[in-house]
Amino acid sequence: MKTIDNLDFSGKKALIRVDFNVPLDEHYHITDDNRIQGAAPTIKKILNDGGGVILMSHLGRPKEGPTEKFSLKHIVKHLSDVLGVPVQFADDCIGEETKAKAAALKSGEVLLLENLRFYKEEEKGDRDFAEKLATLGDVYVNDAFGTAHRAHASTAVIVQFFPKAKYFGYLMAAEVGNAERVLNNPERPFTAIMGGAKVSDKLELIAALLDKVDNLIIGGGMAYTFVKARGGEIGKSLVELDKLDLANDLVKKAEEKGVNLVLPTDSQIADEFAPDSPAYNGPNDEIPADKMGLDIGRESGEHFAQVILASNTILWNGPMGVFEMDKFAKGTKAVADAVVAATERGAFSLIGGGDSAAAVSKFGMTEHVSYVSTGGGALLEYMEGKELPGVKAINE
Ligand code: AMP
């Protein structure tokens, strides 16, 4: 893997694709700066070498071109604090003014470009747009794992303009390295924990994991599709009725491949989808018609924890219940506790981005697992065995 350690950036201008798609509150304050912190070591290494840094990113999903809400100018101050240097801002990612700013950039200076997605050409993977971006720097670095599964102008198409000057940043290298460790070289037993709302989002991943894992734990809303497929009564719990056959197929495949498929046996059964709803612990195949399961139950949490504690490699993606509501976060917490305990004992634990990362952060456990990925969709696609365009473009 060709990382930035292979180059002395002194006197060079590095054009770095970062993923600064950070959550902002209504006052444009960053509520979680993990992605900025994640890219900081790459930026600092290049600055310390004596290079100049031009940063490009997207923020949100602007539909109508430039929009105040999605401007990257809101992160300039925080980014300057994190990097310890004042960050300059170009209020367009291409164009003459931006070109002039990039040309005037000196060693040790940082220029942040405005949101790439203000141009629809970015997501379309437009070649001309990519070429315009490419003129701004003389070395290309990709440190945006969160968008590596997209063949966009700035993540993949642009790389053709840097045939001999393309590198992975540290974050990207760590993400890919950890995903590979889990996929290709897991110390056994290897346990995958899948949760979240929908089984349909993770079908391909579950199918791919059945060839890799020793144990597959399924919790969260998606588990009810499996319970229903077996003929259980699940009341008003989340279910995908068109996926019942598929759920049964997965159960059969797991048996054929000798994978220990672990499903919840009990649930926290609530009257309604609300943080203060009355709820009781009961069997998850006997949920009354007017009630719904919002979390795995105590017995399931204990059983899941036993399997996790006996594992040496753990991959976790998706919460065990509606963890955003404290009353229904206990199952997710039980799993998080077990992952932390297994990690302390020497297991390697990789936490998928998105909601699982949010859950681990909510419980203050980010520092106590082996690695929390910054990529939700990208990690899932990598784990499904797909080649990520952003990775492929640099490896070619
Ligand atoms: P996903 O984006 O598919 O990983 O799903 C995450 C979401 O699933 C979270 O917002 C959880 O609140 C939700 N979720 C997990 N378990 C349940 C459940 N039993 N019923 C309803 N929603 C759930």
Q: What is the pLDDT of residues 99-122, one digit of tens each?
A: 999 999 999 999 999 999 999 999
Q: Which CATH architecture has domain 4-171?
A: 3-Layer(aba) Sandwich (3.40)
Ligand 1 mean position to 144 CA, how many Å?
Answer: 26
The pLDDT score that the predictor gives to residue 34 is: 85
Looking at the predicted structure, is the pLDDT value of residue 262 above 80? yes
DSSP 212: T
The whole-number average pLDDT for the span 32-56 is 96
- pLDDT tens for 203-250 read 889 999 999 999 999 999 999 999 999 999 999 999 999 999 999 999
Closest to 266 in 3D by CA, of 240, 231, 304: 304
292 Cα: distance to centroid of ligand 1 (angstroms): 13
Q: Measured between alpha carbons, how far is 259 from 240 in angstroms, rounded to an integer?
A: 23
pLDDT interval class at 94 (50, 70, 90): very high
Alpha helices in 50-116 (DSSP H): 76-83, 96-104
Lowest mean pLDDT among 7-16, 141-150, 181-190, 349-358: 349-358
* Mean of per-residue pLDDT scores for the chain: 96
Instruction: Read off the amino acid at residue 197.
Output: A
Q: What does the domain layout of the chain look like in residue ranges?
A: 4-171, 178-383
Instruction: Supply the pLDDT for residue 358.
Output: 86
Pair 133, 15: CB distance under 8 Å? yes
Ligand 1, residues 266, 294, 322: which to mutate, most atoms within 8 A of Cβ? 322
pLDDT in tens, 147-162: 999 999 999 999 999 9
Question: Would you please indicate which residues are annotated as catalytic (active-site) residues?
Answer: 35, 198, 354, 377
Locate the ligand 1 atom nearest the alpha carbon of residue 319 and give its number.
Answer: 15
User: How far from 105 is each of 101, 171, 191, 323, 330, CA to CA, in Å?
Assistant: 6, 24, 49, 46, 51
Q: Ligand 1 centre and the CA of 251: distance in Å?
A: 21
Average pLDDT over every residue of 370-395: 92
The closest residue, in CA terms, to atom 17 on ligand 1 is: 221
Mean pLDDT, rounded, for 344-371: 92
Q: How do beta strands 348-351 and 313-317 pair? A: parallel
Per-residue pLDDT, 201: 83
Measured in angstroms, how far is the CA atom of residue 201 from the centroid of ligand 1? 12
Cα 332 to Cα 352: distance, rounded to the nearest angstrom: 14
Model confidence pLDDT, tens digit, residues 323-338: 999 999 999 999 999 9
Asked whether the beta carbons of 286 and 232 are under 8 A apart, the reply is: yes
Domains 4-171 and 178-383 share a fold: yes
Of all atoms in ligand 1, which is nearest to the CA of residue 202? 3
pLDDT above 90 covers a percentage of the chain that reads 92
More confident residue, 155 or 374: 155
Quote the pLDDT of residue 330: 98
Cα-based distances in Å from 34 to 28, 40, 336: 16, 10, 19
| CATH, domain range 178-383 | 3.40.50.1260
What pLDDT score does 75 carry? 98
Give the residue whose CA is nearest to atom 15 of ligand 1: 321
Alpha-carbon radius of gyration of the chain = 23
Q: Poorest-confidence range of 26-35, 188-197, 224-233?
A: 26-35
- Ligand 1, CB cutoff 6 Å, lining residues: 196-198, 201, 220-221, 238, 293-294, 318-319, 321-322, 324, 354-355
Q: What is the pLDDT of residue 167?
A: 98
